[in-house]
Amino acid sequence: MEQAKKAACDFIDKYADDLHQLSKSIWENPELAYKEHHAHDVITEFLNKHDFPVEKHYKLDTAFRAEFSTPDPKNKPRIAVLCEYDALPGIGHACGHNLIAEVGVAAGIAIKHAMTSFGETLSGQLSVIGTPAEEGRCGKHDLIVAGAFSSVDVAMMAHPSQYTLARPKYTSMIPVTIRFNGQAAHSASHPWEGLNALDAAVMCYSSISCLRQQMKPAWRVHGVIRKGGLEPNIIPDETELEFFLRTPSEAELEVLKKKVVDCINGAALCTGCQASYTFGDKHYQALLSNNTMAELFEENGRTLGIEFDQREEIRVKFGGSTDMGNVSHVVPSIHPKFYIGTTVSNHSKGFTVAAGTDVAQDYSLSVAKALAMTAIDILSKPAVITRIREDFHRDVPVQGLS
């Protein structure tokens, strides 16, 4: 299949300028979760021009699915390449989702070109699926519930970073909203008549900060006080906080949730306020990187000159969370990270700049080629999909019982 891989890579090179313009258009028009109308439209228009039958507004208003099948796809692999394209409030594409979209589209058109040119040996089904609202809204969960992955055997995408890793570590994460209700009073003349909800919020925040000393190294709790009162001379009677809780596994997340609830209740008891809290009705699951798929991605990437980070402290480090983790519990998946020419971390203004540079292009398109080559391996070698499924069935119960 070396000829098919070369054809896929050459096809990406042929449209490199167009792909760059697509990424630039998304980068210049950052849109928040579930409001990615511009990105939805420019990506689907691009795919239409490459003869993809595109279903716009697929399951969700700003999601889409572009699908291509060879004449006889029955019992053949069904591959999904995923795109993300939402931005962050205030700092735009500081997570580089414009590049994720570009990589997904580039890999998609390259795989389709190879399937069209080598259909006798690359039969199957290809979907390019646009997945909105990754940032804080867990959009892929909504797509899973809606059945978007019921006709998919494997899923793949790649995420820009400061590092290049085939098997990055992503944590389980759940948000919690905390409210304290007290009693308003004049802060100077009758403070004893009040129940200070801001004190409760501060005490809760401080208790969680103290809790970190007893947290495992890979656990994370971080939050903000969203509502802290109205005026200095009114004892606040209502406050609100929001925290994200992260752990490497679902079982650990349950332990951490209980510890945080104790901090909430303790702050209420000390201040005489009433506490209420609501954990998110959906949460981000830890990423399961399919070993066979990751190995193929690494092998293909190395032939293209991609250098994977070998530093142990980077390979074992847990980062943030992704709703691709949810997908990885439903179908075998990979979600490699890739270097884009900067050491600045994601979710910073510096990374926003880096995601829009020309420098990021070569790195991004090399990864798109590696994904396309990996898909070609899966389509052309029947034994590969069997190994992928065996990995998946080993991984999922282990994650559930850890």
Same domain for 265 and 128: no
d(CA 237, CA 274): 10
Same domain for 238 and 180: yes
Read off φ and ψ for residue 356, nearest 5 degrees: -105, 5
Same domain for 301 and 153: yes
Tokens of 281: 């009705």
Same domain for 203 and 71: no
Cβ proximity of 21 and 104 under 8 Å: no
Strand partners for 127 = 67, 80
Last residue of a domain, one of 240, 262, 279: 279
Q: Could you give the number of structural domains in the chain? A: 2
Q: From first to last of the 402 residues of the chain, give the pLDDT tens digit.
A: 899 999 999 999 999 999 999 999 999 999 999 999 999 999 999 999 999 999 999 999 999 999 999 987 778 999 999 999 999 999 999 999 999 999 999 999 999 999 999 978 899 999 999 999 999 899 999 999 999 999 999 999 999 999 999 999 999 999 999 999 999 999 999 999 999 999 999 999 999 999 999 999 999 999 999 999 999 999 999 999 999 999 998 899 999 999 999 999 999 999 999 999 999 999 999 999 999 999 999 999 999 999 999 999 899 888 789 999 999 999 999 999 999 999 999 999 999 999 999 999 999 999 999 999 999 999 999 899 999 999 999 998 654 433
Same domain for 131 and 64: yes
Cβ proximity of 400 and 141 under 8 Å: no
Last residue of a domain, one of 222, 249, 279: 279
The CATH number that applies at residue 303 is 3.40.630.10
Same domain for 38 and 137: yes
Same domain for 163 and 71: yes
C-alpha separations of 96 from 62, 162, 229, 350, 361 in Å: 18, 11, 35, 11, 12
Cβ proximity of 349 and 356 under 8 Å: no
Domain that includes residue 270, residue range: 172-279
Same domain for 370 and 308: yes
Last residue of a domain, one of 279, 296, 311: 279
Cβ proximity of 170 and 322 under 8 Å: yes
Same domain for 176 and 166: no
d(CA 343, CA 339): 8
d(CA 212, CA 207): 9
Same domain for 126 and 217: no
Same domain for 347 and 224: no
Same domain for 290 and 145: yes
C-alpha separations of 257 from 220, 273, 389 in Å: 11, 21, 32
pTM of the complete model beyond 0.85: yes
